[in-house]
Amino acid sequence: MASEGVRRYIDLQPGDPAPWFEQRGCENPRYVFDTAAGRWLVLCFFASASDPVGREALAAALARRDLFDDAHASFFGVTLDPGDEKRGRVRDSMPGIRFLLDFDGRVSRAYGAIPADSQPGGGRVPVQRFWFVIDPTLRIVAKIPFGTDGAGHREAIALVERLPAPGRHAGVELQAPVLLLPDVFEPELCEALVAAYDRIGGTPSGFMRQIDGRTVLVSDPGHKRRSDCHIETPELIARIQARIRRRVVPEIRKVHQFEATRMERYIVACYDAEDAGHFNAHRDNTTRGTAHRRFAVSVNLNAGFDGGEVGFPEYGPRTFKPAPGAALVFSCSLLHAVTPVRRGRRLAFLPFLYDDAAAKLREGNNAYLADGLGPYRPQDPDPARSDTPSGSEPALSRGTD
């Protein structure tokens, strides 16, 4: 046990995963740090820009503005001093320069800049000042103390100068851990689902966020622009169930040793060039109402479009454009994005798969759904189960991530 009076700091080292967090920024009231993956990230815990030590660190970063462009690398300055905001000592500079207003110490505690049991605002807090360099998959590359005479600043900047392209951060080009399965849906099924979309019509869809402890459906066309229609025809649902059970579930079992028994939602989604349909980088299981999701499935239903490709920024710039009927299958924890459609429209069938244990989690999280989001009832017929009667109509989830 530590002696009385000894303060404990989190001690992160190279190779450790960088803690994820949400914190207020100068311009973004809720910056979600893990969505910045896919580029080199530099966190500078300077504590305050009111003293020479903090100002010197910021000057070192701003003097090399060319290194931080949000494509190769991004800089995040972390301040504990409310005076930095009040007096305008820090401000974002896009692209690439952001400040996190860590007045409650959430980020500083997680990275060991202040003791794990400390609370800014309750008296003097001992501060450790250093730089973290983090790779595109959010693993720590270096922890560099400020040192004396600016030595730490020079070391951090020199390291950023030497970094390779984000897509080769591991020394080789990486393949995102995804499955690409041809011939999951036959052409006739693809055509039937496209026809259903054209007949029913799509409705603009939002995405889920955790706000004040509850899962809330929000809309932001700058983040996501897509229209969805819900398939409710029993015959179409039965055909979909059969293909997923026979052609997707066995591959997940083989590769991931996971037995998918349940499927959430039957939607045909449309990304249309007329409104530059897209979905910015996100993860599919980051709220209480979506935490049960294990695997996402994206089955393209048509060709004849440009853009609309699925990318995984943590694993490089490569994107995927499956042929009609082919499925892209990936963990819901992976950061992914859909590039803007430039010509035509991309239609896709987009369910989530999970298992019985996750179904219990989903049911338990009903209490955290905002008004208007229908609760999950585990007794309803569930389409991925092998014992589901082929003609039964499942209760459709209205999740829209």
pLDDT for 401 equals 47
Domains of the chain: 22-168 (3.40.30.10), 179-368 (2.60.120.620)
pLDDT tier, 1 (very low <50, low <70, confident <90, very high otherwise): very low
Average pLDDT over residues 87-94: 96
- Who wins on pLDDT, 149 or 225? 225
The DSSP secondary-structure symbol of 172 reads: S
Query: In this structure, what are the phi and psi dihedrals at residue 85, rounded to the nearest 5 degrees?
Result: -75, -45
Please state, as a whole number, how many other Cβ atoms lie within 10 Å of the Cβ of residue 36.
Answer: 19
Over residues 157-209, the pLDDT tens digits come to 999 999 999 999 999 998 999 999 999 999 999 999 999 999 999 999 999 99
pLDDT for 122 equals 60
Residue 240 pLDDT > 60, yes or no?
Answer: yes
Residue 138 pLDDT > 50, yes or no?
Answer: yes
The DSSP secondary-structure symbol of 393 reads: -
Is there a contact between 250 and 257 (Cβ–Cβ < 8 Å)? no
Residue 372 pLDDT > 50, yes or no?
Answer: yes
Residue 4 pLDDT > 70, yes or no?
Answer: no
Helices (H), 264-372: 356-364
pLDDT for 125 equals 85
The C-alpha atoms of residue 185 and residue 191 are separated, in whole angstroms, by: 10
- What is the rounded average pLDDT for all residues in the chain? 91
Residue 392 pLDDT > 50, yes or no?
Answer: no
Report the Cα 95 to chain-centroid distance in Å. Answer: 20
Any residues with CB less than 8 A from the CB of 160 and at least 6 apart, and which? 40, 42, 64, 67, 73, 133
Lowest mean pLDDT of 75-79, 118-122, 134-138, name the range.
118-122
Average pLDDT over residues 87-107: 96
pLDDT for 120 equals 78
pTM: 0.88
pLDDT tier, 371 (very low <50, low <70, confident <90, very high otherwise): confident
pLDDT tier, 379 (very low <50, low <70, confident <90, very high otherwise): low
Is there a contact between 29 and 61 (Cβ–Cβ < 8 Å)? no
The C-alpha atoms of residue 346 and residue 146 are separated, in whole angstroms, by: 50
Share of the chain above pLDDT 90, in %: 85
pLDDT tier, 5 (very low <50, low <70, confident <90, very high otherwise): low
pLDDT for 242 equals 96
pLDDT for 388 equals 31
Query: 342-366: b or e for each residue (b if 16 or more CB lie within 10 Å)?
Result: eebbbbbbbbbbbbeebbeebeebe
Residue 16 pLDDT > 70, yes or no?
Answer: yes
Is there a contact between 112 and 128 (Cβ–Cβ < 8 Å)? yes
Taking alpha carbons only, the member of 87, 164, 80, 85 closest to residue 126 is 80
Average pLDDT over residues 113-124: 82
The C-alpha atoms of residue 274 and residue 167 are separated, in whole angstroms, by: 31
pLDDT for 146 equals 96
Residue 333 pLDDT > 60, yes or no?
Answer: yes
Over residues 258-281, the pLDDT tens digits come to 999 999 999 999 999 999 999 999
Per the listing, tokens 């499927």 go with: 263
Query: In this structure, what are the phi and psi dihedrals at residue 393, rounded to the nearest 5 degrees?
Result: -105, 115
Pairing of strands 97-101, 73-79: parallel
Average pLDDT over residues 106-124: 88
3-state secondary structure string across 94-121: CCCEEEEECCCCHHHHHHCCCCCCCCCC
